[in-house]
Structure 1
Amino acid sequence: MSDDPQFTIARAIRLYNRIDELPRLNEGLEALGADLGWPGRSVMNLMLACEELVVNIVHYAYPEGGEHVIEVDVRATSDSVEISVSDGGVPFNPLETDNDPLSLLDMDLEERPIGGLGIFFVQKIMDDVQYEHAGGMNRVRMIKRF
């Protein structure tokens, strides 16, 4: 899909690994959705998926601390979007986990551990989610068709 000439808009959103950067991410996605006429619910779902990945990067990718850049690259048309979220943090494939997210849903809320459902929701929201680690970078690539 990334080599498809139909893509009409490409945007790069560069964030620092801080939670207070999330509004910039959401504003960028909202503006893109408005430009291309995406359904409002789809824009909200894209924001949720991207937020989940960025929050995980902020909390876990850089245990040594410091300021680092998270790259969100968006290629889009009116009927589809490809989003790549990249960081240079600790190599981690969020798609490979020992947790069974469906078993968490069966637990009482008081017994349920914090976390574990985010990537499950990302996979449900998006049509395709892939991970790669190359050149010292973690990259999650997501595709959604409208």
Structure 2
Amino acid sequence: MNDHRRDPTGHPDLPKFTDEPLTLLELLAGADEPTCTPYPPTNQEAGSIDKRCILRDQIWVDVRGHVHPLEDLTPAYRANVINYLRRTTPNWVVEAGAWLYLDEVAGRIDSAESARRHLLLRTAPPDWLEASPLLRRLRALVGDSNTQPLGAGGY
């Protein structure tokens, strides 16, 4: 069965179609959803983020839809992004499970792939976010800086 995930538009910043199984990070970022939206999104709803951001290591798209190169962010802003993600991503495993259930009901994935994805979600390590390209890059840029919340804004 051809996996319908990743970018069907051929946009250079998105992963291409492949028959390779989804990784945990791709599953949690919603990369299995058919999309015609290039990344970064141009019509992002204010107050939300595109979960695909964790798969990128060069830019951050804030809750207003503004694109920021990671190198241009201040250390305080980088720390706020890290803390924002640490606060908001714990629910992503539960959300991915709900979307997986809907894919099963709609017949979009076969039983073997469904079982494999359920196993990925059940065995997701608590620190899965730290393995994402975005967090690895932010950590490298922040260095030994404190990543405690630094006040309003910055994400």
Of Structure 1 and Structure 2, which has the larger fraction of its residues in strand?
A: 1
Specify if TM > 0.5.
no
Q: TM-score range by the shorter chain?
A: under 0.3
Give the structure-1-normalised TM-score: 0.27
Give the structure-2-normalised TM-score: 0.26
